[in-house]
């Protein structure tokens, strides 16, 4: 089984008699459970008809991860199907939290803040959603809703629930 990681990865298929027509009339069909989910044009890489190469591009962006089949087609015939597994690029937990509007107001000297940062992967990893109030005091004074840290806001609203990665995943719908 072929594994494919992303829409900008080149896929090269080898086989016999994949095509006998000019390059511009080749296509690859994407199938799932035998039903076609889309087609894209391909570029041949060998003049003897034994290899084609393509980037799934937008076609790949519009299908979810899972097991699929690929079939090369031309105006005369279709190749046998080739099974492959599409590995979609997963959004990281922190990127998802950022997308959901999570902001953590904190200080690096606060023990509870350090525990939360460590649980979420460390200060460097949480940088997109982290505001250090000892370094950004003006921002914290304008935007914080309480006088304690860590303060977690989601879309500007104070989150007062438990401060663990599992609870943040549950409240935002982000996958750990």
* pLDDT above 50 for 51: yes
* pLDDT above 70 for 157: yes
Strand ranges of the sheet holding 35-41, from the earlier edge strand across to the other edge: 2-4, 82-86, 66-73, 27-32, 35-41
Band (80; pLDDT cuts 50, 70, 90): low
* pLDDT above 70 for 93: yes
Report all structural domains of the chain as residue ranges with CATH numbers, in order of start: 2-86 (2.60.40.10), 93-172 (3.40.30.10)
- Average of per-residue pLDDT across 20-44: 69
Q: What pLDDT does residue 45 have? A: 47
In angstroms, how far is CA 99 from the centroid of its own chain? Answer: 13
3-17, 88-102, 119-133: the lowest-pLDDT one: 3-17
d(CA 47, CA 77): 17
Model confidence, pTM: 0.52
What's the Cα-to-Cα distance from 13 to each of 7, 9, 54, 172, rounded to whole Å?
A: 16, 13, 9, 41
d(CA 37, CA 64): 11
Strand ranges of the sheet holding 11-14, from the earlier edge strand across to the other edge: 11-14, 51-54, 43-44
């Amino acid at each position: 089984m072929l594994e494919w990681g992303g829409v900008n990865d080149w896929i090269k298929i080898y086989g016999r008699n994949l095509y006998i027509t000019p390059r511009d009339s080749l296509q690859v069909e994407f199938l799932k459970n035998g039903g076609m989910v889309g087609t894209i044009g391909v570029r041949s890489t060998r003049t003897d008809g034994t290899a084609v190469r393509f980037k799934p591009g937008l076609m790949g962006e519009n299908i979810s991860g899972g097991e699929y089949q690929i079939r090369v087609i031309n105006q005369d015939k279709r190749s046998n199907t080739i099974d492959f597994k599409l590995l979609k690029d997963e959004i990281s937990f922190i990127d998802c939290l950022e997308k959901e509007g999570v902001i953590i107001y904190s200080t690096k000297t606060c023990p509870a803040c350090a525990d939360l940062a460590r649980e979420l992967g460390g200060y460097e990893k949480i940088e997109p959603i982290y505001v250090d109030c000892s370094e950004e005091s003006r921002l914290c004074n304008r935007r914080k809703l309480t006088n304690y840290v860590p303060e977690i806001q989601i879309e500007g609203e104070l989150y007062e629930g438990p401060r663990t990665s599992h609870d943040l995943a549950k409240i935002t719908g982000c996958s750990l």
